[in-house]
Structure 1
Amino acid sequence: MPLGSGEFEEAWPRIVRALASFTGSLDDAEEYAAEAVARATAHERAGGRPIESYAAWCTSVAKRAWLDDARRRTVERRLAPELARPEVADAPDPCGPSDDTAMDADDLSREGLDDRLALLFVACDEALSPTSRMVLALRVVCGLTIPEIAGHLGVQETAAAARLTRAKRALAEARGSFSVPPPAERERRLPVVIACVAGMFTVAHRTVLDPADALADTGRQALSIADALVAAFPGDTEVRGLRAVIRLGLARRPGRVDATGTALALDEVDRTRWDRDLLGAGLDDATAAVSGDGRFAIEAAIAGLHSIAPSFERTDWRRIVQLYGALEDRWPSPSVRVARLVATAQAVLAGENGWAGRSVTAVEQELASLETRGPAYASRDAALALADLEWRTGRRERAAQRYRDLAEVVDVEPLRRFCLRRALTPP
């Protein structure tokens, strides 16, 4: 029977992890896993026997394909001695895993480590540059496309693709074979792993406002990985902060679009549609993370304030601005700066005490600078923030022109509809 919703997401990391252990290569594992999945699809279309376990079926098919190719390469080397190098005689047998890769999927399962986490810890190897780790993890484990990765990191698609290729090559050269790091090494790699899962959720939160089904719900997949991280590191405040951000984001997601699939501004959201159970669980995580002062502990606090506010007007904008300032100190990012400026403008408009030295005009000047000189994702957010400020301060004609321009370039359909709606609203 065909793969059901969520089955592919569950099977894929298990297949890749088992193959990486068997072949000793993360690159080979991804390639042969893709080939096996394609064969499974062809098998079903041809009316073959039902596949009871896709992970087991695809792993078996992929291993046989890898062995066939390895044997063929061995024969080619034997029949072309002029290409042989002296060290070939001492090389491990390519027809089977070496001692370094003898750990199979069953051995790894006995460690109690989630398959996706195992792959993330491998991809986030310190032998790679921070950006290379992110690209490799987001593509191979989190399943993001090259355009999505490029947009998240603020780089060109060609640059992201090149970094992915270099990362795979560098990992193979540095480690020689696939190996899940021991617990102490996993602790050192944890911050990058957390950042990768956060990146996965950020892309989902920005681009998939209303997923059609579970297969398209990258946000829920990010939550599943966050759950596995909490199970592995229950006392880590950054891990709990990460899950708080994801839970609270997903809890508020039902109110992000209207019945027509058009995105809603924050002051238009119907808060009664929020998932109260998930909201409560997210607030529990945020409370657990509050003793920390890292990036995700602060992000959890910000998400918590948005979640407990009874309305847009009664949101504690002053406290949110303060938290964004602390977040910017620990994680200076154009997106954080845009968010701080937006919150500052809301505090000014709400007449918060202590904001006499700030003005909407000053905020708009900073946003305009980010719009013209920031990376693509920050530029878009700054443009949307400028349009919203003009809208809220009565400059409707200028705002409408901004929204018309944005509708031409925004590629997220619910957001494009929102821009068109405001562009066509009479002043």
Structure 2
Amino acid sequence: MPIEPAAFRTAWPQVVRSLAVATRSLDSGEEYAAEAFARAAAQPDGTIDDLVGWCVRVGRRAWLDTVRHQAVLARIQSQIARAEVDAVDAPTAPGDDLDDRVALLFVACDDALAPGAQLVLAMRVVCGLTIRQIAGHLGIAEATAAARLTRAKSALARTRGEFVVPDGPARAARLPVVLACVAGLFTVGQRDALQPADATQDPARDALTLAEALVAQYPDEPEVLGLRSVCRLGLARRPGRVRDGVALTLDEVDRSAWDQRLLSAGLADATAAIGRTRPPGHLPGRFALEAAISGVHAAARDAADTDWPRLAELYDALLQAWPSPAARVAHLVVLGRLAVRDGGDLGPVERDLDELVADGPPYAARDASLALADLARRTGRTEEAAGRYRELLDVLPAGPLREFCRRHSG
């Protein structure tokens, strides 16, 4: 039977978590879940009423078959005797109200793994990103991302032995990496799909769902509120960014099309995130600052009305909290805006952007190239801008942003 994408995305983490508990291995949980969904897809229509329960039972049977074939039946005799429905109930221990995907995130972000391995494992197994998307987000080769994934699964099995959802203190220690994973999922969604063709396959929407589940667990944590604010404000501002299949510049965006409900909720989160920074006077964290930045953009009536000096200050602070190539490019874009507006010297900004084009990771190099093309276009250097847009046609995937470059390349 065909499995609807929305049903699959809802059922997958539940089945993986159930089977990981049964097999005591995240890797095995994922493997037998994939086998169960493949068998579900081969069933005639109308034969499966409960996709999660059916896949858990089938995955558990497949695992037990494997165990039998490995001649260790005696070791698991008591588990075989249990009613299969227990496997459906297994993932939720008394008092454990964790969302299944969030629970898997905390498992994947184990501090026994290297930070890069944590991100790759979580973004692949839990967030469902492809190796290509993960490699692009992290600025590494696809082969490197694939190798990290393999090593992470092996290291997790070797170090922890069996699948266990961490307790409260361990979750708190892993929370920063979990937030980075959700932020990465959101970034990929916004970068790859300005106008998603299928709302059920939208990484940015999935990121908001995860952020909301994290806020349910940490309602007073500024960084968690900040991340939800970033997701809400980013999605609120998505409508109006594309016209006739072509991306629009910040000056052209139809702000009347923005989602006012999400906008209001995101601004409330941003205010709360900055207001709850602890201790008072302490520099806010990455996501509280990113929320404040998104809030400045969201509150402006148009691009000209945007408080660019305030954004420059916020990016200065962000670079202290999170000195990443992505933050550096965004900071330079703001400085370029100010230089054009005030008649300042663009030389230092363009030199720094050129440096990122030459030496930055692929995503930062791409964004820096777009920023340079935009500066050339807005300062009347038409031929230079067209040349830069033509070069970008070779690296951008098909979509609204590529069509924007095509429109301005001739």
- The normalised TM-score by structure 2 is 0.93
Q: Output aligned runs, 1:61-100, within 5 Å.
A: 61-74=58-71, 92-93=75-76, 96=79
Following TM superposition, by how much is the alpha carbon of 1:108 offset from its aligned partner in structure 2, in angstroms? 3.7
What per-residue deviation string (whole Å, max 9, x for no partner) do you get for residues 202-224 of structure 1? 11011111111123211111111
Alignment-derived partner of residue 195 in structure 1: 180
Looking at structure 1, the residues matched to 396 and 240 of structure 2 have their Cα atoms a distance apart, in angstroms, of 20
Partner-residue secondary structure (3-state), 1:254: coil
Aligned 8 A contact 2:183 2:227 in 1: yes
Q: Is the 8 A contact 1:5 1:213 kept in 2?
A: no
**Matched ranges for 1:20-419 at <5 A:** 20-43=20-43, 47=44, 49-74=46-71, 92-93=75-76, 96=79, 106-109=89-92, 110=94, 111-258=96-243, 260-291=244-275, 292=277, 293-351=284-342, 359-419=345-405
Report how far residue 94 of structure 1 moved. 8.3
Q: Structure 2 CA distance, aligned partners of 1:54 and 1:208?
A: 29
Other-structure match for 1:84: none
**Deviation of residue 255 (structure 1)?**
1.6
Alignment partners' CA distance in 2, 1:28 and 1:138: 17
Contact 2:6 2:201 in 1 (8 A): no
In the alignment, is the contact (CA less than 8 A) between 2:131 and 2:145 conserved in 1? Answer: yes
Contact in 1 for aligned 2:21/2:90 (Cα 8 Å): no
Q: 5+ unaligned residues in a row in structure 2: which ranges? A: 81-85, 278-283
- Percent identity of paired positions between Structure 1 and Structure 2: 55
Shift of residue 347, structure 1, vs aligned partner: 1.3
Q: Distance in 2 between matches of 1:92 and 1:196?
A: 37
Which TM-score applies when normalising by structure 1? 0.90
Match of 2:280 in 1: none
Residue by residue over 1:99-145, the C-alpha shift from the partner in whole angstroms, topping out at 9 and shown as x without a partner, is xxxx9552543411100011000000000001100000000000000
Q: Give the distance between the partners of 1:192 and 1:232, measured in 2 at CA.
A: 16
Give the Å deviation of 1:362: 1.4
Change (3 A) 1:65 1:164: same
Number of residue equivalences: 396
Contact 1:338–1:367 (CA under 8 A) maintained in structure 2: yes
Post-superposition Cα deviations, 1:258-281, rounded to whole Å, max 9, x if no partner, equal 1x2111111110101100111001
Change in Cα spacing, 1:176 to 1:270, as seen in structure 2 (3 Å) is: same
Q: CA RMSD in A?
A: 1.7
Deviations 1:212-242 (A, max 9, x none): 1123211111111111000011000000000
Secondary structure, aligned partner of 2:128: coil
1:93 Cα deviation after fit = 3.6
**Which amino acid counterpart does residue 371 of structure 1 have in structure 2?**
V
Deviation of 1:2 after TM superposition, in Å, equals 4.1
Would you say the 8 A contact 1:27–1:168 is kept in 2? Answer: yes
Change (3 A) 1:94 1:33: farther
Structure 1 residue 4 displacement after superposition: 3.6
Distance 1:384 1:93 in 2: 58
Q: CA offsets, 1:274-321, max 9 Å, x none?
A: 001110010111011012200000000000000000000110011101
Give the distance between the partners of 1:196 and 1:409, measured in 2 at CA.
25
Q: Give the number of the structure whose alpha-carbon radius of gyration is greater.
A: 1
Distance 1:412 1:324 in 2: 30
- Give secondary structure in 1 for the equivalent of 2:166: coil
